[in-house]
Structure 1
Amino acid sequence: MGIVVLTMKASVIEMFLVLLVTGIHSNKEMTKKIKRPKFTVPQINCDVKAGKIINPEFIVKCPAGCQDPKYHVYGTGIYASYSSVCGAAVHSGVLDNSGGKILVQKVAGQSGYKGSFSNGVQSLSLPRWRESFIVSESKPQKRVTYPSTLTYSSSKSPDAKAGKCSFVTHTSRQNSHGAKPGIQKQDSPGAAFQDPLGADVGLGFIPKEELSTQSSEPVSQGDPNCKVDLSFLIDGSSGIGKRRFQIQKQFLADIAQALDIGPAGPLMGVVQYGDNPATQFNLKTHMNSRDLKTAIEKITQRGGLSNVGRAISFVTKTFFSKANGNRGGAPNVAVVMVDGWPTDKVEEASRLARESGINIFFITVEAAAENEKQYVMEPNFANKAVCRTNGFYSFNVQSWLGLSKTVQSLVKRVCDTDRLACSKTCLNSADIGFVIDGSSSVGTGNFRTVLQFVANISKEFEISDTDTRIGAVQYTYEQRLEFGFDKYSTKPDILNAIKRVGYWSGGTSTGAAIHYALEQLFKKSKPNKRKLMILITDGRSYDDVRIPAMAAHQKGVITYAIGVAWAAQDELEIIATHPARDHSFFVDEFDNLYKSVPRIIQNICTEFNAQPRN
C-alpha cells in the first residue's frame, strides 16, 4: 500500500513538473509573439508648423525641398512655433535640402526671435510668441516614447487627409469667479475664445474665430542685422520686353522675401526708369515682405529709353528724404538693374550719389557683345558708377534666366553694413580733435574768436556717436583735455561745450601739445574713423615739434596746421600732413580766421573722396 501511495505521489510530482515546464515554454512563446510594435516615424510636409502639432516632443521625417522661402521660419536656434518645422531644421543645419529625420522638442515662448540667413534659408524676426521649439538630430532619448501618429490642433491636418484623424479634446471649466468656459488657442500669443453657449467644446471643434486668427501670419519687425534703406532702380525701357520685365519683377519679389522687411530692419522702395524715372513706392509705403511682394506684382512697364544716369540723379535728389521714409541712421543703398547698357552717361550722376552717402550697386544683365560695344555711350560704365572696383558692388549676369542665382549673394552684400563704405562721407566719418593754443599772446578776446572758428568748422559736420565726433585740447606750457570724442554726441551739445572752454594763458609748447593729443584724445578714436587734428597757434613753439608731428603722421592722424599773426610758417609746414600746401593755412590776424573755413572743409572732402576705398 505504501508503495502505491509513493508511486502516485511521484506521478503527481512528475505531472506538475511537466505542466510547469510546458507553461514556461508557452510563456516564452507568448513573449516572442507579443513583441513591441516597431516605431514608425511619421512624415510631414514642408509647410507644417510646429504649433499645429500638440505633442511636446516627437520625431518626424521631412521631405526634400524645404529650403524654399515660402516655408517661413521665425528665429535662430530657438524658433517660434509658427515656423515650418522642416524649414527650421534646414536653417539650423540639422538637415540639408534633401530632407530626413529630426527630433523636435517644444520649449517656452520667447520675448523676441532674431532672424538670420543660414544654410540657404532666411529666417525672419519676431517680437514675441507664446511657444517655441528646437530641432536636433533624430537620436531618441532614453525612456522617452515617441508617437507614431502625431496629434494636431485641428482636423485640418495631414493625418486627417489620409483618414487617420487625431483630435484634441478641449475641456471647458467654470472658474472660481463663475466666468464662462473658454478654450485657449494652440498657436496664438495669449488669446482665448469662449463658446457662446457656455457648453463643453466637443471633439475636434475649433471656433471659427480661432481658425481665422491661426491662419493670419505674424508680422515681422524686420531683421535688425540688416537695417538699411534700400532703393531698387528697375529697367522699364522698351528694349527689355515683357518677358524679361516679368523676370525682373520676380527677382524683386525674391529679394523682398529674403530681406525680411520691417521697421526694425531693412526698408525697400522701387523706382522704375525709362525715358524718365518715377517712384513706384517709397521706403515707408510697405513695412513687411508680404505687402511688398504684392505691390511688386502690380508694377506695370513704362517703356522708353534706358536713361540710367537720369534715374540715379532722381534718386539722389528725391528718394532718400525724410518725407519718403529715410531713417537717417541706416545706410542708403541703391541697386541699379540694367538690361544691356544705359542710353545716357552714369559716371557723374553716380559720383554725386556716392558723395551724398548712397551705396551704388549695379546689376548688368546680358551686357554688350563685342560687336555691340560701339553703341555703348560710356564704356565700362558699371565700374565707373560703383564705389569700389573689386567686384563687391557690381554683378554681371550672363542671362536673365540666371538672375535668380544672385539673390542670396546680393542680400548678403547689401546687409553687410561694415563694408558699405559709400555711406561714409567726408562729413560723417571722422574723429576731429582741435588742439587750441591758449598762450598769453593770444589774449581773451582773440581766444573767443578762435573758439568761434572751431565752432564754425564743427557746424559743417554731421555729428553723432556713429558719425563725426569732436574733441578738444587746450595747451600752453601744459595741456588740458577740454572734452573727449565720447563726451558729446549732438551738434548743439558740441557747440555749447566749445563756448564753455575757458581761456588758460601761459607759454607755447606745441610739440608737447601734439604728443598729449595723440595720447589723451586720439588713442580713444574708433578704428574705422578717419582721424583729423586741427591745430591753431599764434606763435613759434618753445619746444621741438618735429618728433611729435612725425608720430602723428605715422599713426595716420591727418594734421591741419592753422597759423595766426606771429606763427612760424616753417613750423606749420612741419606739423601739417604732406602735402603741406593742402594742410597748412596762415592768416595775418584773428578776425580773418573765418575766411579759411570753406577751404579747410573743401580740402578735407577732396582728400576723402580721392582716397581709394577698396
Structure 2
Amino acid sequence: MYFLLFLKSGDTEAWKPDAILADAGVVPGEEGSPQPSEPTPQGDPNCLVDLAFLIDGSSAIGKRRFHIQKQFLADMAQALNIGPTGPLMGVIQYGDSPALQFSLRTHASSQDVQRALEKMTPRGGLSNAGRAISFLTKSFFSKAQGNRSGAPNVAVVLVDGWPSDRVGDAAQLAREAGINIFFVTVEGPLKNERELVPEPDFAHKAACRPSSFYALPVASWAALGRSALQPLARRVCRPERLQCSRTCLNSADLGLVLDGSSSVGPANFRTLLRFAADLSRALRVAPSEARVGLVQYTYEPRLEFGLDAHRSRAALLRALAGVGYWSGGTSTGAALRFALERLFPRPRPGRRQILVLVTDGRSYDDVRPPALEARRRGVKVFAVGVTWAVPEELALIASPPAADHAFFVDEFEHLARCVPRILQAICDDFARRPGD
C-alpha cells in the first residue's frame, strides 16, 4: 500500500549524473549518499509502512508556508519513529514539475529525515499536484528506491488551496497501482475563487475511500500541526484500514475449497491446483493486503493452510504446488460449512471475504444451509463445476445472482477459462459495494 504527501518545495536529491537527473525530475544533492552521524534506530515495528510525502513548492506557497510544511514533515517523522524495521519515508516536491527530494532508502532515522528536510528550498512555478502523483506512481515505490514487499505503500498529498492541474485521473491510476492516497488540504478556495479550481471537489475524488478517513481538511496553515499531525500518524499506522488501492483484487481474504474426491483423480487434482495458482497470481499477497487459505474436501474437509500461513505470493504458490491429493466422497455442504468456520470465523474490518469452491459432482449432503449462512455473514461465494457437477446445485451454492457467481466447464483442462471471469466478477462486486 502507498502513502502520498504533497508539499511544494525545492530540489535536493540526485542519483545519477546531473544532466540525466534534471531530465528525470531528480534534483542533484544528497540522494544515494546518506551520512549517518549516529547509530541508526530501528523504528516502530508496529507501523511497517512505506510513505511518500508530496510537498507543495510552487510560487504561491511563500517562505513561511513552505517552512510550515517542512516542520510538519519533520514532526511526522518524529511521531512515526522512522527506521528500517518500521516506517520509511521519502519526499517528492512539486511545482511546475515534480522532483525526488529523497527516496525510501536514503534516510533510516527520524533525525536523518529532519536534517534532509532543513536543506529543502521551494521549486516555484504552478502547483501541479496531478503531475506529481503520476511521477510517484511511475517511479517512487520500486525495489530500487527502497520499497519493501509486504509494507503498505501510502502517499500523503499536502495541497495549499487547490492544485493548478487535475488530480482525479492520476490518483485513480495510483490507487490501481496499489497506493493508498491521503489528501491534506489547507485553506481551501473561497466562494468567489471556486470557479478558478480546475477540478471541484478534487480531494474527495482523488483520495481513497472512505474519504472521511483519507481526506483531512485543515482550516489554516497555523493549525496544520495540531489539526492533522496526530490524526494522520494514527491512520498511517493502521494497515487493516489501508485497503484503498488493491481495489477489486487485493483488499480481500480468499478461501479456496477444492474437491479432492475419487472421481477427480491425481492428474485432474493437479489441474485444480494450477487453477488455484492462476487465481492467486492476480493478487498481491501480503498480511495487509490479499490473503489466501485452502480447504480440500472429500467425505470430510481438511484445512491445507489458513489465511495467515503464507505472507507472500511466492510462498503461497510453493505451498499450492505441495498440496497432496486426498481421494474419497463428495460432501460439499460440510466443506462449505467448514471453510466458513475455519477461514472466516468473524468479519475483518476493511477486508472482503470471498470463497471459490470447485467440485466435479453432486454433493452427498445438503448445500443449502451453509450457503445461506455464507450470505448471512456477507461472504461472497463463487461455485465452479466440472464434468458431472450439477448446475442447479452450483446455483444454490453461489451468491446471488447465480449468473454472476456460478460457472461450469465440461473438462478440467477448461478451468483456466474461468479465471478471468471470476476475477472480473470479483471486481464487479467491488464496484457495486456501498460507498461512503
Normalization by structure 1: what TM-score? 0.59
Amino acid at match of 1:285: T
Partner of 1:474 in structure 2?
296
Does residue 248 (structure 1) correspond to residue 69 (structure 2)? The answer is yes
Amino acid at match of 1:419: R
Q: Would you say the 8 A contact 1:263–1:287 is kept in 2?
A: yes
Q: How far 1:594 sits from its partner (Å)?
A: 0.7
Q: How far 1:242 sits from its partner (Å)?
A: 3.6
Query: SS in structure 2 opposite 1:379?
Result: coil
Residues matched between the structures, number: 399
Does residue 515 (structure 1) correspond to residue 328 (structure 2)? The answer is no
Listed one character per residue, the Cα deviations across residues 464-522 of structure 1 (whole Å, up to 9, x for unaligned) are 55543333333334433334435544544443443444444444332232223233444
Q: Distance in 1 between matches of 2:302 and 2:41?
A: 50
Q: Distance in 2 between matches of 1:273 and 1:425?
A: 27
User: 1:608/1:522 Cα in 2 relative to 1: closer, same or farther (>3 Å)?
Assistant: same
Q: Distance in 2 between matches of 1:246 and 1:434?
A: 52
Does residue 224 (structure 1) correspond to residue 224 (structure 2)? The answer is no
Partner of 2:94 in structure 1?
273
* Alignment partner of 2:257 out of 435, 439, 442: 435
1:418-429 alignment runs, 5 A limit: 418-422=240-244, 426-429=248-251
Mean Cα displacement is larger for which, 269-278 or 521-530?
521-530
Partner of 1:350 in structure 2?
171
Query: SS in structure 1 opposite 2:60?
Result: helix
Q: How far 1:587 sits from its partner (Å)?
A: 1.9
User: 1:293/1:508 Cα in 2 relative to 1: closer, same or farther (>3 Å)?
Assistant: closer
1:142-181 alignment runs, 5 A limit: none
1:177-576 alignment runs, 5 A limit: 220-389=41-210, 391-406=212-227, 407-422=229-244, 426-464=248-286, 467-523=289-345, 529-576=351-398
Q: How far 1:370 sits from its partner (Å)?
A: 1.0
Query: SS in structure 2 opposite 1:359?
Result: strand
Q: Distance in 1 between matches of 2:271 and 2:255?
A: 18
Mean Cα displacement is larger for which, 555-564 or 599-608?
599-608
Amino acid at match of 1:579: P
Normalization by structure 2: what TM-score? 0.81
Listed one character per residue, the Cα deviations across residues 10-37 of structure 1 (whole Å, up to 9, x for unaligned) are xxxxxxxxxxxxxxxxxxxxxxxxxxxx
Larger radius of gyration: 1
| % identity of equivalent residues | 61
Q: Distance in 1 between matches of 2:218 and 2:309?
A: 48
Q: Would you say the 8 A contact 1:331–1:423 is kept in 2?
A: no
* Alignment partner of 1:603 out of 417, 421, 425: 425
Q: Would you say the 8 A contact 2:40–2:108 is kept in 1?
A: no
Q: Distance in 1 between matches of 2:301 and 2:256?
A: 12
Q: How far 1:536 sits from its partner (Å)?
A: 0.9
Q: Would you say the 8 A contact 1:421–1:613 is kept in 2?
A: no
Q: Would you say the 8 A contact 1:485–1:524 is kept in 2?
A: no
Q: Would you say the 8 A contact 2:162–2:189 is kept in 1?
A: yes
Q: Distance in 2 between matches of 1:503 and 1:237?
A: 62
Amino acid at match of 1:413: R
Q: Distance in 2 between matches of 1:599 and 1:531?
A: 18
Mean Cα displacement is larger for which, 501-510 or 358-367?
501-510
Q: How far 1:237 sits from its partner (Å)?
A: 1.9
Partner of 1:581 in structure 2?
403
Query: SS in structure 2 opposite 1:311?
Result: helix
Query: SS in structure 1 opposite 2:157?
Result: strand
Q: Distance in 1 between matches of 2:286 and 2:143?
A: 18
Query: SS in structure 2 opposite 1:310?
Result: helix
Q: How far 1:234 sits from its partner (Å)?
A: 1.0
1:17-166 alignment runs, 5 A limit: none
Q: Distance in 1 between matches of 2:240 and 2:260?
A: 39
Q: Distance in 1 between matches of 2:116 and 2:191?
A: 38
Q: Distance in 2 between matches of 1:411 and 1:487?
A: 29
Q: Distance in 1 between matches of 2:327 and 2:71?
A: 69
User: 1:344/1:441 Cα in 2 relative to 1: closer, same or farther (>3 Å)?
Assistant: same
Q: How far 1:606 sits from its partner (Å)?
A: 4.0
Query: SS in structure 1 opposite 2:166?
Result: coil
Partner of 2:22 in structure 1?
none
Q: Tell me which of the two structures has the higher relative contact order, counting C-alpha pairs closer than 8 angstroms and 6 or more residues apart.
A: 2
Q: Distance in 2 between matches of 1:429 and 1:256?
A: 27
Q: How far 1:336 sits from its partner (Å)?
A: 0.7
Q: Which runs of 5+ in 1 are unaligned?
A: 1-215
Amino acid at match of 2:151: A
Amino acid at match of 1:350: A
Give RMSD over aligned pairs: 2.9
User: 1:485/1:270 Cα in 2 relative to 1: closer, same or farther (>3 Å)?
Assistant: closer
Q: Distance in 2 between matches of 1:371 and 1:584?
A: 54
User: 1:259/1:436 Cα in 2 relative to 1: closer, same or farther (>3 Å)?
Assistant: closer
Q: Distance in 2 between matches of 1:551 and 1:397?
A: 45
Listed one character per residue, the Cα deviations across residues 164-184 of structure 1 (whole Å, up to 9, x for unaligned) are xxxxxxxxxxxxxxxxxxxxx
Query: SS in structure 2 opposite 1:434?
Result: strand
Q: Distance in 1 between matches of 2:261 and 2:45?
A: 50
User: 1:525/1:489 Cα in 2 relative to 1: closer, same or farther (>3 Å)?
Assistant: farther
User: 1:581/1:261 Cα in 2 relative to 1: closer, same or farther (>3 Å)?
Assistant: same
